[in-house]
């Protein structure tokens, strides 16, 4: 009995020492752990939504009594937050007026464009906004709202918006367009890096990299060279998916 007990104790001790040695071998040294890069925070799009005032304007897309008519143009917006309108000048109209775009109760001056054949209202202005990570930033913003009878057959009041961010704004991995689609109730969905597709009044959205991804959707690659096309602006994250 004593011999059996002794062998059992020795075997248990050897097993414990082997496990301890294996754990020490796999664990990084303190200096190695200190040199490992910390996970990057997940980038977050601006806190922008389609307000009731914006959706009401799309339901009745005409200038208000104090609006100022603006000249016809094919490119509507500012910077990368621009859409190229199709058709002839008599198919579209442009004006500027005060509109509550952030649901603050304080209207601000915005530019508006109505694409009558496709039944889409576009709204453009420079905005100050907060981000989901607590930052504040400023960027040119373009919003598209589908009206009743739109050729894309999207629900009236739904649409998409994009804002041009600098690298680091809202945790963006690089400068470019970021935004979301929104439903008929104004709720955002499918947010990420954005490519505007003017020819179909729509956008392609690539999801943002998740927290802890060292490169995420950006994958460390340069922006695709698609900006030469007058009908699209490239996503800052690379190629996207609908």
Q: Quick one: tokens of 198?
A: 């003017």
Cβ burial 169-192 (10 Å sphere, 16+ → b, else e)? bbbbbebbbbbbbbeeebebebbb
Query: Do 52 and 182 touch, CB atoms closer than 8 A?
Result: no
Mean pLDDT for 41-57 is: 86
Mean pLDDT of the chain: 80
pLDDT band of residue 25 (cuts 50, 70, 90) is low
Torsion sign (Cα): 172, 152, 79, 204: positive
pLDDT for 224 equals 28
Residue 239, class by beta-carbon neighbours within 10 Å (0-12 exposed, 13-18 middle, 19+ buried)?
middle
Element (H, E) at 6: helix 2-26
Mean pLDDT for 90-98 is: 95
Q: Quick one: tokens of 164?
A: 């041009």
What is the tens place of the pLDDT at every residue in 66-80? 999 999 999 999 999
Q: Quick one: tokens of 221?
A: 């690659």
pLDDT for 26 equals 56
161 forms beta bridges with 143, 180
**Of 41-45, 175-179, 218-222, where does the model show the most confidence?**
175-179
Torsion sign (Cα): 125, 81, 102, 202: positive
Q: How far apart are CA 109 and CA 127, in angstroms?
A: 11
Q: How far apart are CA 112 and CA 121, in angstroms?
A: 7
Q: What share of the chain is helix, strand, coil (3-state, %, to 5)?
A: 20, 35, 45
Nearest one of 123, 120, 122 to 150, comparing CA atoms: 120
pTM listed for this prediction:
0.73
DSSP state letters, 92-140: EEEEEEEE-SSSSS--EEEEEEEETTTTEEEEEEEEEEEBTTS-EEEEE
Nearest one of 113, 111, 125 to 48, comparing CA atoms: 125
**Phi and psi at residue 216, to the nearest 5°:** 60, -145
């Amino acid at each position: 009995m004593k011999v059996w007990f002794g062998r059992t104790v020795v075997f248990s001790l050897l097993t414990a020492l082997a496990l301890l040695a294996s754990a020490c071998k796999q664990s990084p040294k303190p200096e190695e752990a200190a040199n490992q890069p910390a996970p990057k925070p997940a980038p977050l799009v601006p806190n922008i939504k389609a307000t009731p005032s914006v959706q009401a304007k799309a339901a009745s897309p005409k200038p208000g009594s104090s609006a100022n008519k603006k000249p016809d143009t094919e490119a509507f917006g500012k910077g990368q937050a621009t859409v190229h309108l199709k058709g002839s000048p008599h198919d579209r109209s442009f004006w500027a007026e005060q509109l509550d775009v952030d649901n603050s109760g304080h209207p601000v001056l915005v530019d508006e464009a109505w694409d009558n054949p496709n039944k889409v209202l576009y709204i453009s202005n420079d905005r100050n906004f907060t981000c989901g990570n607590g930052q504040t930033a400023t960027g040119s913003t373009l919003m598209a709202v589908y009206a009743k009878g739109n050729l894309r057959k999207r629900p009236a009041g739904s649409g998409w918006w994009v804002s041009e961010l600098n690298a680091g704004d809202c945790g963006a991995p690089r400068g470019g367009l970021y935004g979301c689609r929104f439903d008929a109730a104004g709720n955002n969905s499918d947010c990420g890096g954005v490519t505007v597709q003017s020819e179909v009044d729509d956008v392609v959205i690539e999801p943002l990299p998740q927290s802890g991804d060292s490169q995420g959707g950006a994958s460390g690659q340069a922006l695709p060279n698609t900006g030469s096309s007058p009908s699209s602006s490239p996503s800052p994250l690379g190629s996207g998916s609908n």
